[in-house]
Chain A
Amino acid sequence: MTNRLERAPAENTKRIARLLVGKMPHLEFAFWDLSDFMPAFHNVRRNMIFIECEKLAHNDVIGALAEKPELRNYLVYSGDRKPVAINEAWASAKNTGEIRGVIVVVARTDFHETDVFEGNAHIPSVERRLVDLLAYSLKGYLPFTIEEAIDALEWEAKNGKLKITTMQRYASRRYVGWFFDILMYRLSEKGSAPYIDPRYVESGKRYHDAVLRVGKHE
């Protein structure tokens, strides 16, 4: 795996990771945020910090973060496969300006496609982060539109050579392989990522046409 640590998350996110490494030195977790993709977004204003670890540790991770006064003004999502807001009542009572960001704590124990940051902390590759964004937005779990996820993917595809095979494999594991193939087909059509393997373009076209036919079916 290419070392992508030069594309590490924002300083604040790294501080959070170091805090967790200190508090829970044996907890294996991955962390990332949206800072890399911010230039591509249109409506996402606040950074979203993702912490992926086993479910057992969720409450303690949230508790450890809540001990830091500066991390108390975050909207927190937590969950197994479907993260839900756990402090929604608190957030509803706040002005939007008072909510500093979003922290998402999700149950994951799969740390493939990640690089070691420090101790047991991992940073997922850009490919994995992009697919995760697609998965979350497609399933509607997080306040994040599918258009924003596609913009991030297109922006990264234009600016760097993404490992499409890795992404496709990971997308299949996240049950969004078909959707990923459609996107590859569309990006290829637009000329955004000319290096895409024709196999994905082919299957993507098939899925794309099928979805269109379903849409037109009466």
Chain B
Amino acid sequence: MNRQFAERQEQVLVILEVLAKEASRRKETLVFIGGSAVQTMVLKKAKRLSVDLDVYYSGNAGELLGVLGSEYLVGKRQSKQADMFDFYNAVRGSVQVKIDIAKFKLAERGEPYEARFLGIGKTEVKVATPAYLLASKMSALAVGTVGRREFAPMDFLKDVFDANALIDEYGIARETADYFGQVCNVQNRMNKTSFKEPSIMESIVARLLESALADDEKAAIKRSDLGNFNEYSLQGMVKKTDYWTMAYRLAAYCRALALKEKMRDAVKEIEKGANEKYAEREFAAMCEKKLAENGIDEKQLHELKILAPKALVYFYYAHYPPGGISITTTKF
């Protein structure tokens, strides 16, 4: 763990507490979102450090940040979508925190947040729900459609890691599929695009699969990226094989998400395969055989089977979703 990052994360929470109190005084809504929300307030125990503060705020962000005035040196950063976001830096001593403020409603329907309590003073903070955060993390992976504008390995890795941590702790709620659709609509509106859900899903799966190729030279996420990521880790090292498992799990879940009302049954079957049958010789051989028939490199399949058998099972379900039709993932 990097000490500088730890100091920054500490400041994220200090600033959040001040902003939450001020927003409440102003009778405005402030919702804590993003990786910091996942790690510091939603998971029982943080698994990685997160050093940026992402919030939604219903009022005037400039006025809100005035409350930091005497303690922090606050500066505005340039925003390409000033109607949607305000970006700030808050500096105190040698610690700088980036504050990204979303100005658009998080969802078209409902309020995807809940009250949680922060710090010794038990300050009430509105935090996005796990279902919403998972939907938003999944949609961020759709680089090329509604997700992040460019593929940045570290951001992609953090999104994959956070989504997996949410699934580990909360599973996948029924609302996630609905929120996913809503987040995609918001992103489409923001970017003036009109991507439909199937092509968005396809772009997520394609990005995940190319990020986790066994050949490090061809993989979009390389060993060196994991080395950098591990500076943020609070729970040991994330190895390449761990990354394969996380990425392929999300790819399989994406397929399940597309099955709508059958989603939860599909997820159950995926997890059963990955946790109960991964060690069975016949099952692994079947996965390997069917994937090879689908044109997947046999060397990669063998490597998966030996080094990360659970990843092989998730990889299989990313191509053969339970209750769905087999899918050949094309380059998006």
* Chains A and B belong together in one complex: yes
- A residues near B (Cβ < 8 Å) are 24-27, 54, 56-57, 60, 63
> Are B278 and A24 closer than 8 Å at their CB atoms?
no
B95 adjacent to chain A (CB < 8 Å): no
Known: A56-B303, A57-B306, A60-B307. Is A25-B279 also a contact (CB below 8 A)?
yes
Tell me, in angstroms, the Cα distance from A190 to B239 when the chains sit together.
Answer: 55
- Residues in chain A near residue B278, CB distance under 8 A: 25
- Residues in chain B near residue A60, CB distance under 8 A: 241, 307
Tell me, in angstroms, the Cα distance from A25 to B284 when the chains sit together.
Answer: 10
As a 0/1 sequence over residues 258 to 285 of chain B, the CB contacts with chain A under 8 angstroms (1 = contact) are 0000000000000000000011010010
Shortest Cβ distance from A181 into chain B, in angstroms? Answer: 38
- Residues in chain B near residue A56, CB distance under 8 A: 302-303, 306-307
Q: Is the interface of A mostly helix, strand, loop or mixed?
A: loop
The chain B residue with its CB closest to the CB of A67 is B236
As a 0/1 sequence over residues 302 to 321 of chain B, the CB contacts with chain A under 8 angstroms (1 = contact) are 11011101000000000000
24 contacts between A and B (CB under 8 A): A24-B306, A24-B307, A24-B309, A25-B278, A25-B279, A25-B281, A25-B284, A25-B309, A26-B279, A26-B281, A26-B284, A26-B305, A26-B309, A27-B306, A54-B306, A56-B302, A56-B303, A56-B306, A56-B307, A57-B306, A57-B307, A60-B241, A60-B307, A63-B239
Tell me, in angstroms, the Cα distance from A27 to B239 when the chains sit together.
Answer: 18
Q: A25-B309, A26-B306, A63-B239 are in contact. List 14 more A-B contacts (CB 8 A).
A: A24-B306, A24-B309, A25-B278, A25-B279, A25-B281, A25-B284, A26-B279, A26-B281, A26-B284, A27-B306, A54-B306, A56-B302, A56-B303, A56-B306
Shortest Cβ distance from A52 into chain B, in angstroms? Answer: 14
- Residues in chain B near residue A24, CB distance under 8 A: 306-307, 309
The chain A residue with its CB closest to the CB of B302 is A56
Q: Is the interface of B mostly helix, strand, loop or mixed?
A: helix
A24, A54, A57 — which one has the most chain B CB atoms within 10 A of its CB?
A24
Shortest Cβ distance from A66 into chain B, in angstroms? Answer: 11
- Residues in chain B near residue A63, CB distance under 8 A: 239
- B residues near A (Cβ < 8 Å) are 239, 241, 278-279, 281, 284, 302-303, 305-307, 309
* 9 pairs of A and B residues whose beta carbons are closest in the complex: A25-B279, A26-B305, A27-B306, A60-B307, A57-B306, A26-B306, A26-B284, A26-B309, A25-B309
Shortest Cβ distance from A21 into chain B, in angstroms? Answer: 9
Shortest Cβ distance from A121 into chain B, in angstroms? Answer: 13
Tell me, in angstroms, the Cα distance from A54 to B278 when the chains sit together.
Answer: 20
Tell me, in angstroms, the Cα distance from A54 to B302 when the chains sit together.
Answer: 11
Shortest Cβ distance from A218 into chain B, in angstroms? Answer: 55
- Residues in chain A near residue B279, CB distance under 8 A: 25-26
The chain A residue with its CB closest to the CB of B299 is A56
- Residues in chain B near residue A26, CB distance under 8 A: 279, 281, 284, 305-306, 309
A26, A56, A60, A63 — which one has the most chain B CB atoms within 10 A of its CB?
A26
Shortest Cβ distance from B58 into chain A, in angstroms? Answer: 48
Tell me, in angstroms, the Cα distance from A62 to B70 when the chains sit together.
Answer: 53
- Residues in chain A near residue B281, CB distance under 8 A: 25-26
The chain A residue with its CB closest to the CB of B285 is A26
- Residues in chain A near residue B303, CB distance under 8 A: 56
The chain B residue with its CB closest to the CB of A63 is B239
Tell me, in angstroms, the Cα distance from A27 to B304 when the chains sit together.
Answer: 11
- Residues in chain A near residue B239, CB distance under 8 A: 63
- Residues in chain A near residue B309, CB distance under 8 A: 24-26
Tell me, in angstroms, the Cα distance from A111 to B307 when the chains sit together.
Answer: 19
Shortest Cβ distance from B155 into chain A, in angstroms? Answer: 27
- Residues in chain A near residue B306, CB distance under 8 A: 24, 26-27, 54, 56-57
The chain A residue with its CB closest to the CB of B279 is A25
